[in-house]
């Protein structure tokens, strides 16, 4: 059974929910109303597991009984003063949450490594330099492509709620640090707030079983 330990420190909630947890999941009626009755079963399960992971992450920072609703751009709406992120893939979900005194934004993403992934997406996801790194070793190409893709999804989730600015995949560039197993990222477009073009950030990456897990946190601003 897969397990993912929190990559964050004290004061951060982090939770993983698996398909085996599904029967136990209880959502608030407001949350149930967010998912279309016509949604396919896979989407319903992942949505439920994502919300359950969010509740559990919130409970780790002592926030209980908070329905996690949805903003106008599908982003999860966290309690005032809290930032967080949700991801689901391959029948599991993860969520992380913390107070703004600990982070100005959080991103998490999980992707099942799918060997059938079309390589055409390299052009959409990767800058020229990232594509060179992805293509360096044919045996690692799919894995590296998903690492870049996932790290950018994590970055999107951390930056988007700050100013509701949509960053495309080519609006940030990542550089892999082999020694420490993290990406160093640089914004190629402003994400709003203090995050101007050229802003540098870090995205962690772990390969766990058949999954790629990426995560990031933005340092807190002022007193949070």
Ligand X SMILES: CC(C)(COP(=O)(O)OP(=O)(O)OC[C@H]1O[C@@H](n2cnc3c(N)ncnc32)[C@H](O)[C@@H]1OP(=O)(O)O)[C@@H](O)C(=O)NCCC(=O)NCCS
Write out the residues near ligand X by the rule CB under 6 A.
47, 50, 73-76, 86-89, 109, 152-153, 155-157, 160-161, 167-169, 171-172
Contact 31, 51 (CB under 8 A): yes
Query: In angstroms, what is the minimal distance from the CB of 156 to ligand X?
Result: 4
Q: 61 or 96, CB closer to ligand X?
A: 96
Q: 130 or 153, CB closer to ligand X?
A: 153
Query: In angstroms, what is the minimal distance from the CB of 188 to ligand X?
Result: 9
Q: How many helices (H) and strands (E) does the chain have?
A: 5, 10
Q: 10 or 42, CB closer to ligand X?
A: 42
- If phi > 0 it is left, if psi is from -120 to 50 it is alpha, else beta; for residue 120 that is alpha
> Angle at CA 191, nearest 5°, toward 81 and 224?
25
Contact 81, 42 (CB under 8 A): no
CB atoms within 10 A of CB 128: 9
Q: 44 or 141, CB closer to ligand X?
A: 44
Query: In angstroms, what is the minimal distance from the CB of 109 to ligand X?
Result: 5
Query: In angstroms, what is the minimal distance from the CB of 158 to ligand X?
Result: 8
Query: In angstroms, what is the minimal distance from the CB of 46 to ligand X?
Result: 6
Please report, for residues 119, 148, 163, 166, 168, the alpha-carbon distance to residue 122 in angstroms, rounded to integers and kept in the order given: 6, 10, 27, 20, 13
204 vs 182: CA distance, rounded Å = 4
Q: Residues 6 or more apart from 31 whose CB is under 8 A from it? A: 51, 67, 68, 69
Q: 136 or 163, CB closer to ligand X?
A: 163
């Amino acid at each position: 059974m897969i397990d993912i330990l929190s990559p964050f420190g004290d004061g951060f909630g982090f939770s993983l929910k698996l398909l085996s947890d599904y029967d136990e999941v209880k959502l608030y009626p407001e949350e149930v109303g967010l998912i279309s009755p016509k949604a396919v079963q896979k989407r319903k399960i992942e949505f439920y597991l994502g919300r359950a992971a969010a509740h559990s992450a919130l409970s780790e920072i002592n926030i209980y009984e908070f329905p996690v609703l949805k903003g106008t751009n599908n982003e999860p709406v966290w309690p005032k003063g809290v930032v967080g992120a949700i991801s689901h893939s391959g029948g599991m979900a993860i969520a992380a949450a913390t107070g703004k005194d600990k982070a100005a934004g959080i991103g998490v993403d999980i992707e099942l490594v799918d060997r059938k992934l079309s390589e055409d997406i390299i052009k959409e996801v990767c800058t020229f330099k990232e594509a060179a790194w992805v293509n360096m070793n044919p045996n690692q190409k799919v894995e590296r492509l998903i690492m870049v893709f996932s790290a950018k999804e994590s970055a999107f989730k951390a930056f988007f709620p700050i100013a509701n600015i949509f960053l495309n995949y080519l609006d940030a560039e990542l550089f892999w640090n082999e020694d420490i197993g993290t990406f160093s990222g640089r914004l190629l477009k402003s994400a709003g707030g203090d995050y101007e073009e050229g802003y540098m950030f870090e995205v962690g990456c772990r390969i766990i079983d058949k999954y790629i897990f990426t995560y990031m946190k933005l340092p807190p601003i002022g007193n949070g």
